[in-house]
Amino acid sequence: MLSIGEFSKAAGLPVKTLRFYHEKGVLIPARVEANGYRYYDSRNLEAAQVIVALRTLEFPLDEIASLLSNCSSDEDILDHLTARREEVARKIQQQTDILSRIDMTLERERETRMTFAASASEIEEKHLEPVLIAGLRMKGRYPEMGKGFGQLGRKLGRKIAGAGMCLYHDREHREEDADFEPCFPISGKVTVPEFSVRELPGGRAITLVHVGSYEDLGRSYAKLFEHAEEKQLSLSCPSREVFLKGPGVFFKGDPAKYATEIQFLIADNE
């Protein structure tokens, strides 16, 4: 019989680890004295060698305990090694997929920053003319505005007199219950009960043409807000996005080439 210290050296396992394995039922000493002293035999040493080998293969402790209880030879453990190999292969594939997505995200971010730096226009302070619009007020998620534009397009037809735009009636970003209004400039009055047909007021505004994906609009908004703070301008709600160039009727096109003019009217007290 070996004391726990002697067994620690023979097995190459720290005493603290041996106590932990005992508590977990993975490696139970051959004898435990009334005073708590642990003693180990040759079978414990063989089991310790198996544990060390399996831990290097990252087997969980509970599975190791089960293997020690149910396997008596190398042949008995082959099925478990095969299953472990398949599990590791799955994890490697998952990690490879994640790595690929990370690389794609990093590359996209680099391209976005380069495109934004090269193509983002300067902020303009200009006068917006009033415009007659037909809008469809919606509550929900921002991507749902596409359905609104489809409904507007079907009902307005040849009355459409310019690029589509969206009015944002919230002052902050909202995930599920955003208050927004896709709309089109129109050439004359139309009567569609669910549409709001009215003159969108003009006035002094700050604007910026964002070139790139809609997902990156936040960069341009930040630039406008910084400008407004620097010039001590109060901005009115709703804000506007005018879609100068975006997805086509049939094809999505290249999001890097989308052009969206963000417009904020400056509050009257300025």
Query: Domain boundaries in the chain?
Result: 2-70, 124-265
Is the separation of the CB atoms in 148 and 136 below 8 Å? yes
12-21, 35-44, 46-55, 63-72, range with the lowest pLDDT: 63-72
Query: pLDDT digit string (tens) for 212-258?
Result: 888 889 989 999 999 999 999 999 999 999 998 877 544 567 787 88
Once rounded to an integer, what is the mean pLDDT over residues 33-51?
89
CATH topology of 2-70 equal to that of 124-265? no
CA distance 60 to 65: 9
Q: How far does CA 155 lie from the centroid of its chain?
A: 36
In terms of residues, how long is the chain? Answer: 270
Query: What local confidence, expressed as pLDDT, does residue 117 receive?
Result: 58
Query: pLDDT digit string (tens) for 93-137?
Result: 888 888 887 887 677 667 656 655 555 568 999 999 999 999 999
Query: pLDDT digit string (tens) for 165-190?
Result: 999 999 999 989 999 999 999 999 88
Query: What local confidence, expressed as pLDDT, does residue 149 receive?
Result: 93
Query: What local confidence, expressed as pLDDT, does residue 112 receive?
Result: 56
Query: What local confidence, expressed as pLDDT, does residue 109 receive?
Result: 67
pTM of the full structure: 0.57
Using the predicted structure, report yes or no on whether residue 270 has a pLDDT greater than 50.
Answer: no
CA distance 205 to 215: 24
Once rounded to an integer, what is the mean pLDDT over residues 135-144?
95
Superfamily (CATH H level) for 124-265: Regulatory factor, effector binding domain (3.20.80.10)
Q: How far does CA 189 lie from the centroid of its chain?
A: 43
What average pLDDT is seen over the chain? 87
CA distance 262 to 224: 9
Q: Which fold has domain 2-70?
A: Multidrug-efflux Transporter Regulator; Chain: A; Domain 2 (1.10.1660)
Query: What local confidence, expressed as pLDDT, does residue 52 receive?
Result: 87
Quick one: what percent of the chain has pLDDT higher than 90? 47
